[in-house]
Amino acid sequence: MMNHRQKLSIAIPASIISDVPHLREKTLRIGLVGRAVAIFRVHEIIVFSDAVGSDQSKEARLIATILSYMETPQYLRKRLFKIKPELRYVGILPPLRTPHHPLINKLKDLTVGEYREGVVVASVKNGSLIDIGVERPILISKKRIPIDTRATVKIGELEETPRGVVVSHDEIEEYWGYQVVISNVTLGRLIRKRSFDLVVATSKYGIPFKQVIQKLVKRWKKSQKVLVAFGAPTRGLHEIVAQEGLKLGEVADLVVNTIPNQGTATVRTEEALYASLAILTSLVEK
């Protein structure tokens, strides 16, 4: 079973938006990725360059910016994200509706002990004031935090002056969103550089998932840090790591076909995300 301490990461190629020319369609596709990772409780999205020798930094930054915007609670977005051309079509993004995106916006409806995302709006002599999306900011006593810093707060007191403490996500039992990382190295080097306990590569040339269920479940349940890697529609993971002179089996613990007997010539990355994560996460819940 996926435990509270387990960290699930995915690696997606920067080229997932290269085949759609308009920013609106790129935004929509990135939005589908954001919804998928939230539905299946992914903690980290790693965007990697899948064309060795090509500069994909612009695509990677666009993906990371929109995914980060999407993950940020709506009441914090204006303060944390300035007006940028790449955010022109964020109005079409679907809402995440995760626990850290609450609908409550009244101080009277808060409860002691609940968690809220916030941003530091002022420093005062006895601490910091943090906007948590209600009428008044909450006081974090004896702790001065730089203005515009995002923080996770646990509500400690609501009488007179609302107070709270800044906490780590490790303390929270509920799924509390994802972070986005742009890798500055290729996929093969990334996997070797990071200490993942289990690396699962998805590929139509992999072993059908039914044949590796027992091995997969056993490894997954023992792992604290799991990475699931996805290829691009025009370049699968075998081809991507081959550019580094590597074989996929050398960098991944398991190469799995999560969509056997696919009816289309290719499966888009965002489609593979839904299909693969649905299968993989349901297996480990057994």
Written as one string, the DSSP assignment of 121-148 is: EEEETTEEEEE-SSSSPEEEET----TT
Q: Give residues with Cβ within 8 angstroms of 2, minimum separation 6.
A: 8, 41, 220, 281, 284, 285
- CA distances 283 to 155, 225, 256, 258, Å, are 36, 17, 13, 12
pLDDT value, residue 1:
43
For residue range 175-229, list pLDDT tens digits in order: 999 999 999 899 999 999 998 999 999 999 999 999 999 999 999 999 999 999 9
pLDDT exceeds 80 at position 4: no
> Which residues form the domain of 194?
7-97+179-283
Asked if residue 2 is part of any domain, the answer here is: no
pLDDT score, position 284: 75
Which residue type is seen at 192?
A: R
Q: Domain for residue 102, yes or no?
A: no
Helices (H), the chain: 23-39, 57-71, 74-80, 187-193, 213-222, 237-242, 248-251, 269-283
Domain boundary among 115, 137, 170: 170
pLDDT digits (tens, 9 = 90+) for 127-178: 999 999 999 999 998 778 999 999 999 999 888 889 999 999 989 999 999 9
Average pLDDT of the segment spanning 15-44: 96
pTM for the whole thing?
0.93
Q: Decide if pLDDT at 2 tops 50.
A: no
Q: Residue 142: inside a domain, yes or no?
A: yes
**Residue 133 falls in which region: left (phi positive, over 0), alpha (psi -120 to 50) or beta:** left
Q: How many domains does the chain have?
A: 2
Which is higher by pLDDT, 279 or 283? 279
CATH number of the domain at 165, please.
2.40.50.140
- Asked if residue 1 is part of any domain, the answer here is no
Rounded Cα gap, residues 39 and 21, in angstroms: 27
Q: Are residues 22 and 67 in the same domain?
A: yes
What's the mean per-residue pLDDT of the chain? 93
pLDDT above 90 for 99: yes
Could you tell me if 69 and 198 lie in one domain? yes
Q: What is the pLDDT of residue 215?
A: 94
